[in-house]
Amino acid sequence: MDDKLFEDWKNQLKDYYYNLKESESLNINNLDLENTAICIIDLINGFTKEGPLSSERLKSVIPQIKELVQFGYEKNIPMIAYKDCHSCDNIEFKVYPAHCIENTSESDLVEELKGYGIKEIPKMSTNGFIAQNTMDILKNNNIKNFIVVGGCTDICVHQYVLTLKTYMNEKNIDSRIIVPMNMVDTFELPHHNAELHNVMFLSSMISNGIEVVKEILY
């Protein structure tokens, strides 16, 4: 690989970064709330407070998501929380450390989001959409707007929103899938730079028709 290639990559990454930095906020009251759902991805103890995959970065978005959930509760917006809930022999552990075992506190929704009538959906893989088809869950509500929050930006959130978007496209349903940047995050490790992965995968979402916004206003 030559220096020009690296320079091109750097320039492209810079464009991605400034494009995200200039993202606008979204006032949720401008949506048709009767056709809106809130989808929460893996905001559970095992990714925020305890266990080998817990992350302070993901823990830090709990207050913002709680504010959204409070609003959703008051407005009677359908809310779904997908939760890693693995068997002890789950095949995913060939890639990731054993985490969020079923019937342990790691697989529990964080305490801050309990008591708001959120429908909790256990999942065995990184893609919550295929755990239980989202449209089956919401079929009686004519949902076309989805606000997706949680973690991780580059894994479970990315897979979920792209699967949801392509499903809606396949059914020829005009949908809005919205990801507020202040309500998603990923983990930091020596070979996994969180900020870099956020920029790359949020940009990937945009190129696939996802609305990435700075924040949600009420």
Determine how β-strand 26-27 pairs with β-strand 145-151: unpaired
| In a domain? residue 175 | yes
Cβ neighbours, 10 Å, residue 144: 18
Using the CB atoms, write b or e for 63-81: b if 16+ within 10 Å. ebbeebbebbeeeebbbbb
Contact residues for 116 (Cβ-Cβ < 8 A; gap 6+):
69, 70, 72, 73, 79
Q: What is the CATH number of the domain that holds 67?
A: 3.40.50.850
Domain count across the chain: 1
| In a domain? residue 23 | no
| In a domain? residue 17 | no
Question: Quick check: 90 and 106 in contact, CB under 8 A?
Answer: no
Determine how β-strand 26-27 pairs with β-strand 36-41: unpaired
CA angle 166, 22, 67 (to 5 degrees): 70
pTM of the model: 0.94
Q: What domain range is 146 assigned to?
A: 28-217
| In a domain? residue 167 | yes
Whether cis (ω within 30° of 0) applies to the bond prior to 152 is yes
- Convert the pLDDT of each residue in 9-28 to its tens digit: 888 988 999 999 999 999 99
| In a domain? residue 5 | no
- Convert the pLDDT of each residue in 161-190 to its tens digit: 999 999 999 999 999 999 999 999 999 988
| In a domain? residue 19 | no
